[in-house]
Amino acid sequence: MLSHTRSQQDREHGDKIFWRLAATLGVIVTTYFALVPYFGLNIAFHFYMMMWITMATAFNISSGFSGYMPFGYVAFYGIGAFTTAILVKKLGWSVIAAVPMAGVAGVILSLLFAPTLRLSGIYFAIVSLALAAICRLIITNLPEEWTGGSFGLQLGSRAEPLNAFFLMMGVMLLAIASVLWMSRSRLGKALKAVRDDPEAASMMGVNIGWIRLKGWMLAAFFPALCGGVEAWYTNVVDTETAFNTLVTTKTVIYAVAGGLGTVTGPIVGAIAMSWIDELVWRRFPLVNLLILGVAVMALVLFLPRGIVGSVLRARPRWRRFIP
């Protein structure tokens, strides 16, 4: 009896700490980025940092929570970018209306790719890569009136960096909030169970197909939004940049650097790696790519659980409190 109440108190105490930390995280992140324009800090740098935070966080839904590593993740980003560009340029939509549709396009694409969810680890990764390449090829070869051929599309004189900046912030906060909710929700637990042992989960009443699909759609929504907002920000969309494999590469690296399976992991990773990328690019513009590659290898060999993941490995008790 007594110990029962004690563990309940213990649980409530743990929950309180978790949500306090989560709120603190939210406040810090929001305040910092909101103040960037007012202190004259580099808007472009911070825009992309927010974008990578969002991409890495969303990737974590697929990889950390669900156990799928889509090496063709850029497909969602690209479809979002093109959806926004086509709606704005060809159909005259306002950007504010077009960007959410980018998210919808991402979800639709994820449904198209859903049959791949029954594949294991590497097969899934490889097929994902091939599917992204197919998307890119198809769009490049669509008629120029639709998708701009190899020159791409320009959104017209609608480049308003500051508006795009704040929209990106909104998307980022939505993504973080979604993952925070998910990490505590029953969907999150179901995803993890299906990740760890799908047959056993099924024998416990979890409908693994449906659960996987939900996680997958959520994971596809945010990169598509990112593509849309970035299209607004840079004002131009073309298949080279919208479907560039480097987008997936950076997303994967930033997420892994921070640590998969936690909410803070990808955020920490994206921030740290954005800074490192910026510093390296300024100092060593030529060997940038080489350093990126070596960094991935070093991460995998020496810090496989990422920054946050390694901390939690050393202090497993903290897992309850750290979002």
Binding residues among 42-71 for other proteins as defined by CB under 8 A: 69, 71
Per-position x/- string for 251-280, each x denoting binding to other proteins as judged by CB under 8 A, each - no binding:
-xx--x----x-------------------
Residue nearer to other proteins on the CB measure, 94 or 118: 118
Residue nearer to other proteins on the CB measure, 208 or 236: 208
Binding footprint of other proteins, residue count (CB under 8 A) = 73
Binding status of residue 8 toward other proteins by CB under 8 A: yes
270-296: burial string, b at 16+ Cβ within 10 Å, e else: bbebbeebeebeeeeeeeeeebbeebe
Residue nearer to other proteins on the CB measure, 11 or 90: 11
Residue nearer to other proteins on the CB measure, 47 or 76: 76
Q: Return phi, psi of residue 322, to 5°.
A: -80, 125
* C-alpha span between 202 and 224 (Å, rounded): 31
| 236, β-bridge pairs | 154
C-alpha dihedral sign at 212, 218, 224, 230: negative
In contact, 71 and 288? CB cutoff 8 Å = no
Q: Return phi, psi of residue 236, to 5°.
A: -140, 145
8-state DSSP, 142:
S
Per-position x/- string for 173-212, each x denoting binding to other proteins as judged by CB under 8 A, each - no binding:
-------------x--xx-xx-xxxxxxxxxxxxxx----
- Which of the ranges 1-9, 24-32, 35-43, 231-239 carries the binding residues for other proteins, by CB under 8 A? 1-9
- Which of the ranges 24-32, 41-49, 121-129, 224-232 carries the binding residues for other proteins, by CB under 8 A? 121-129
Would you call 162 exposed, middle or buried from its count of C-beta atoms within 10 A (0-12, 13-18, 19+)? exposed
Residue type, position 160, single letter: E
Residue nearer to other proteins on the CB measure, 149 or 161: 149
Binding status of residue 2 toward other proteins by CB under 8 A: no
- Which of the ranges 38-46, 91-99, 263-271, 298-306 carries the binding residues for other proteins, by CB under 8 A? 298-306
Q: Which of 51, 58, 101, 125 binds other proteins (CB under 8 A)?
A: 125
